[in-house]
Structure 1
Amino acid sequence: MTSNQPPTREDLAPGLDAAARAWLDTALAEAADAAAYAAVDAGRTGESDNVAVAPAVAPWELRFAAAGRHCGQEHADSVRVLLLQRARADLTVLTRLYHQGTAAERRAVLLALPHRVTGPGALPLIEDALRTNDTRLVAAAVGPYAAAHLDSHGWRHAILKCLFTEVPVTAVDGLERRAHGDAELARMLADFAAERTAAGRPVPADLHHALNLTGEES
């Protein structure tokens, strides 16, 4: 997935074999019924017998987890984001799937955030991903949602996280726009470069690129 637009079935179908397309169609139909499953669960958990009943896992969520196995790892991100779209997954669902999921499932949730969440409510998921050293999560975390909602302090540290984990800064959405004229980012990058040099470690080439974008490189 590279587009800022969510994938469609038509985007995915040409790359899938017949079995995978049939699986995807069933998964999408189940995802479209997500609201009905939620209503059933609300009724079950609201029964008056005072017996706690765990909400059932909707079938589409099982499909979400199995996407790579049925559609191939190269399509798994797009399939999962499409399922989240079709299920109209809200922040509560996204947060649960993120925390319960594998790294691959968490990545898909992060990629879906710009399409599913309009405000800053999902920033805890971005912040969690940026605390990891999983480069695929870090790269997904610095996409359009972070560009729109991370404050300056958090965004600057996201840049440093990319440099530290060797995630290309080209993964950072809005880098040129947000870096321009950011003297504090320039200072932080210069300090990072100085620390690397003092430790006898190479300075990432991406650091000079980011520093140049600030307009503060000497």
Structure 2
Amino acid sequence: MPSVPLPPPDPRQALHPDALSPAARAWLDAATARIAAEPTSIRALFPAARRRCGQAVLDAHWTTDEAARAVLLTALPLHGPALAEEVAGLYRHGDPAEQRAVLRALPLLHDLGDIGLTLVREALRGNDTGVIAAALGPYAATRLPDTEYRQAVLKCVFLDIPLTRVAGLDARTDRELARMLADFAHERIAAGRDVPPDIWPLVRAFPDIADTLAAQARSLAPTRPASAARALAALGAGPAAEQLQEQA
């Protein structure tokens, strides 16, 4: 795993002065203060964030309701197991939007330690693509064990979740993950199907794995000329790819 934690996206910065109406800003400030004084009040305030703050897209990480919910979570004056219990309750009783907010806020809750991995693993066992993508943020990137991280990336590929939404991929891609992705690509080529384009840079990072996959693509050329040609082009085997594309 990477030794240097990834910086989490800051919801307060995303909620710039123009992001919320004056009424929404006043509600968020009051809700934050109330939670700091009465932690259990978050159970009613957390679900209300969308109605109070809207759901406009702020940036690549946050909508207004998710950012507001993250701010509410950081206001909790709890630590360790007590914090984990409250956060887990919000996640398990929440709708997908509330679950995404909890998962995206995990790296901001420094007192959680590794306890939040339970929620990450729950999210990864499901099939909601938005929740899965939210689970694979900076918190998971710095804490999820290698085997689980690789399986999570592969699940994203199967579910057509863009790998650009997976935090830490550059640092955590190793030979085994590249091999798994190459095996997946081989299956797609053999089936005559397209390979997600964000796989190729990860495979090409390991030239011997890329060479093996290119050889497999050439062997499939007689029966799958089009998919083999696309794969060879993506792997940088230009002349062979062009010849196969002509055959297809």
Q: Structure 2-normalised TM-score?
A: 0.71
State the secondary structure of the residue aligned to 1:20.
Answer: helix
> In the alignment, does 2:14 pair up with 1:20?
no
- The aligned amino acid for 2:107 is P
State the secondary structure of the residue aligned to 2:127.
Answer: coil
State the secondary structure of the residue aligned to 1:201.
Answer: coil
Deviation for aligned residue 1:78? 0.5
For the 8 Å contact 2:73–2:105, the answer to whether it is kept is: yes
The partner residue of 2:120 within 116, 121, 126 is: 126
Deviation for aligned residue 1:8? 2.5
2:188 corresponds in structure 1 to 196
State the secondary structure of the residue aligned to 1:15.
Answer: coil
2:42 corresponds in structure 1 to 60
2:219 corresponds in structure 1 to none
For the 8 Å contact 1:103–1:137, the answer to whether it is kept is: yes
Give the whole-Å Cα distance in 2 for the aligned partners of 1:149 and 1:184. Answer: 18
1:153 corresponds in structure 2 to 147
Q: 1:126/1:80 Cα in 2 relative to 1: closer, same or farther (>3 Å)?
A: same
Q: 1:114/1:214 Cα in 2 relative to 1: closer, same or farther (>3 Å)?
A: farther
- The aligned amino acid for 2:196 is P
Give the whole-Å Cα distance in 2 for the aligned partners of 1:178 and 1:9. Answer: 27
1:73 corresponds in structure 2 to 55
For the 8 Å contact 1:169–1:210, the answer to whether it is kept is: no
For the 8 Å contact 1:7–1:78, the answer to whether it is kept is: yes
Give the whole-Å Cα distance in 1 for the aligned partners of 2:182 and 2:14. Answer: 46
For the 8 Å contact 1:88–1:116, the answer to whether it is kept is: no
Give the whole-Å Cα distance in 1 for the aligned partners of 2:135 and 2:31. Answer: 26
Deviation for aligned residue 1:217? 2.5
- The aligned amino acid for 2:73 is L
> In the alignment, does 2:136 pair up with 1:174?
no
Question: Which is greater in Rg?
Answer: 2
Deviation for aligned residue 1:67? 0.7
- The 10-residue stretch of structure 1 (126-135 or 97-106) with the greater mean CA deviation from structure 2: 126-135
Aligned residues: 192
Q: Structure 1-normalised TM-score?
A: 0.80
Considering only aligned residues, what root-mean-square deviation do their CA atoms show, in Å?
Answer: 2.0
For the 8 Å contact 1:135–1:167, the answer to whether it is kept is: yes
Deviation for aligned residue 1:33? 1.2
- The aligned amino acid for 1:203 is V
Give the whole-Å Cα distance in 1 for the aligned partners of 2:18 and 2:123. Answer: 32
1:46 corresponds in structure 2 to none
Q: 1:154/1:9 Cα in 2 relative to 1: closer, same or farther (>3 Å)?
A: closer
State the secondary structure of the residue aligned to 1:119.
Answer: helix
Gaps of 5+ in 2: 1-6, 57-63, 212-248
Gaps of 5+ in 1: 36-57
Aligned residues with identical type, % of pairs: 44
Deviation for aligned residue 1:9? 7.8
Give the whole-Å Cα distance in 2 for the aligned partners of 1:164 and 1:106. Answer: 22
1:7 corresponds in structure 2 to 11
Deviation for aligned residue 1:209? 2.4
Give the whole-Å Cα distance in 2 for the aligned partners of 1:98 and 1:201. Answer: 37
